């Protein structure tokens, strides 16, 4: 470690972790969270839901299969910083086009290795997610603590504006033969048209909507309900994204004008925004759910799904009934809400990531459920 540049991760409560730098030189700040996935670090880093956060990986060896241009969930890393126990010096995979450290350096993301990530994870589990600074430039502990305490809180932060697209996309078209079944969702080979509100949408969501038989038009998060209705969609999808859902008022307002007009499917932040649109409340979790191995029970048949998750807020279960919503999925670790549906409208949402990139495929059926809603749901 003496031959390599020193880096420090300092938390707002005064905890200091000293290790070796990789990736870019400099200083980055954000909320420090831990992710329990064992693989998929490139998809994790490029997930827009991590905007404003420094990620600590609990799996000890990261970087061994390098990086490539095919597994990006967005065009560049979105995380503010990256924390690992050990960065692999070698990368070996037939799809690899480069190493992780060089990739992070290219995009200005600071990394630190050689710290006790188990200790950091335990610290965050006890104290909750904390603001932190990751630096290769400032080695003064007191200075870094003050910088960490000056970081804006994640509560009240609308980070969707930093990751949503600026203009509506051209339609992402279904490719012939791409359906899960032949055809899974289309009637007479004709695809459904779905508008996706991009709150920080991962690339694999579009791929799986295409595979399910949907052409997709992705739109900015500030588009009004009226403008969305002009696109004449068969259904609406609300994506994942970063920050506090209660602060994303433009989407909440738009949803109130859309939920009675067409079938709606939301995931992650979209799940929370739908809850708020119907009058439920959200709250901040102590340390969030980040990883690819979270058990969720589907209440209709008590089937357990292993799910991919990345969120720091959740819907308050005590507010579902008054909002006209019915609980459909529950987290088996902490009993938080993982899914709901509206009691009378073709509207449903899950808190986890059924597109699972990275992660298991237990929840792919939800895209089929959306297709069924498009078949039977009525547009007004």
Task: Determine the pLDDT at residue 180.
Answer: 46
Task: Note the pTM of the prediction, 2 decimals.
Answer: 0.94
Same structural domain, 132 and 164:
no
Structure tokens at 55: 């990620």
Catalytic amino acids? 268, 353, 355
Positive or negative, the CA dihedral 32, 37, 41, 43 is negative
Same structural domain, 258 and 209:
yes
For 177-234, what is each residue's pLDDT tens digit?
444 443 444 454 568 999 999 999 999 999 999 988 899 999 999 999 999 999 999 9
Same structural domain, 347 and 204:
yes
Positive or negative, the CA dihedral 92, 98, 102, 105 is negative
Same structural domain, 126 and 168:
no
Q: Measuring CA to CA, how many Å separate 222 from each of 8, 52, 166?
A: 38, 20, 9
Q: Measuring CA to CA, how many Å separate 243 from each of 51, 229, 287, 304, 370?
A: 8, 26, 14, 28, 26
Task: Determine the pLDDT at residue 379.
Answer: 56
Task: Determine the pLDDT at residue 173.
Answer: 74
Residues in the chain: 380
Token pair 């967005």 is found at 74
Task: Determine the pLDDT at residue 181.
Answer: 41
- Sites in the chain below the pLDDT cut of 70: 1-2, 174-190, 378-380
Q: How many domains does the chain have?
A: 2
Task: Determine the pLDDT at residue 251.
Answer: 98
Confirm if 240 and 201 have CB atoms less than 8 A apart. Answer: yes
Name, in order, each residue with C-beta under 8 angstroms of 275's C-beta and a sequence gap of 6 or more.
Answer: 281, 282, 315, 319, 320, 323, 325, 340, 349
Same structural domain, 251 and 315:
yes
Same structural domain, 29 and 173:
no
Exposed (0-12), middle (13-18) or buried (19+): which is 77, by Cβ within 10 Å?
A: buried
Same structural domain, 234 and 298:
yes
Mark which of 91, 117, 149 sits at the end of a domain. 149
Same structural domain, 342 and 216:
yes
Q: What is the CATH number of the domain that holds 336?
A: 3.40.50.880
For residue 24, what are the domain limits?
A: 6-149
Is 209 part of a structural domain of the chain? yes
Is 155 part of a structural domain of the chain? no
Same structural domain, 53 and 103:
yes
Same structural domain, 98 and 200:
no
Task: Determine the pLDDT at residue 184.
Answer: 45
């Amino acid at each position: 470690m003496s031959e390599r540049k020193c880096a420090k991760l300092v938390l707002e409560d005064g905890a200091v972790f000293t290790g070796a730098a990789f990736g870019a030189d400099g200083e980055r700040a954000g909320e420090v969270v831990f992710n329990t996935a064992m693989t998929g670090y490139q998809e994790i880093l490029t997930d827009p839901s991590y905007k404003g956060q420094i990620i600590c990986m609990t799996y000890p060896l990261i970087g061994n299969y390098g990086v490539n241009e095919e597994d990006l969930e967005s065009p560049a890393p979105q995380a503010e910083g990256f924390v690992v126990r050990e960065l692999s010096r070698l990368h070996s995979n037939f799809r690899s086009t480069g190493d992780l450290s060089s990739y992070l350096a290219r995009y200005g993301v600071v990394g630190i290795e050689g710290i006790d990530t188990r200790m950091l994870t335990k610290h965050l589990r006890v104290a909750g997610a904390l603001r932190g600074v990751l630096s290769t430039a400032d080695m003064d502990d007191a200075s870094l603590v003050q910088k960490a305490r000056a970081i804006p809180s994640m509560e009240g932060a609308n980070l969707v504006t930093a990751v949503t697209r600026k203009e509506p996309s051209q339609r992402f078209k279904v490719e012939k033969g791409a359906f899960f079944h032949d055809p899974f969702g289309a009637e007479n080979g004709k695809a459904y048209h779905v508008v996706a509100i991009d709150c920080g949408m991962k690339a694999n969501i579009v791929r799986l909507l295409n595979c399910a038989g949907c052409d997709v038009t992705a739109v900015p998060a500030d588009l009004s309900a009226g403008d969305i209705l002009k696109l004449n969609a068969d259904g609406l999808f609300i994506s994942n994204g970063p920050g506090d859902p209660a602060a994303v008022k433009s989407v909440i307002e738009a949803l109130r004008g859309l939920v009675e007009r067409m079938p709606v499917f939301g995931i992650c932040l979209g799940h929370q925004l739908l809850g708020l649109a119907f009058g439920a409340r959200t709250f901040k979790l102590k340390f969030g759910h980040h990883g690819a191995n979270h058990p969720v029970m589907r209440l209709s048949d008590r089937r357990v799904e292993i799910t991919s998750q990345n969120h720091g807020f959740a819907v308050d279960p005590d507010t579902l009934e008054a909002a006209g919503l019915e609980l459909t999925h529950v987290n088996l670790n902490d009993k938080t809400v993982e899914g709901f549906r509206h009691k009378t409208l073709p509207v449903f949402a899950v808190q986890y990531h059924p597109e699972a990139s990275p992660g298991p495929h237990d929840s792919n059926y939800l895209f089929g459920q959306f297709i069924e809603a498009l078949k039977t749901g009525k547009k007004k």
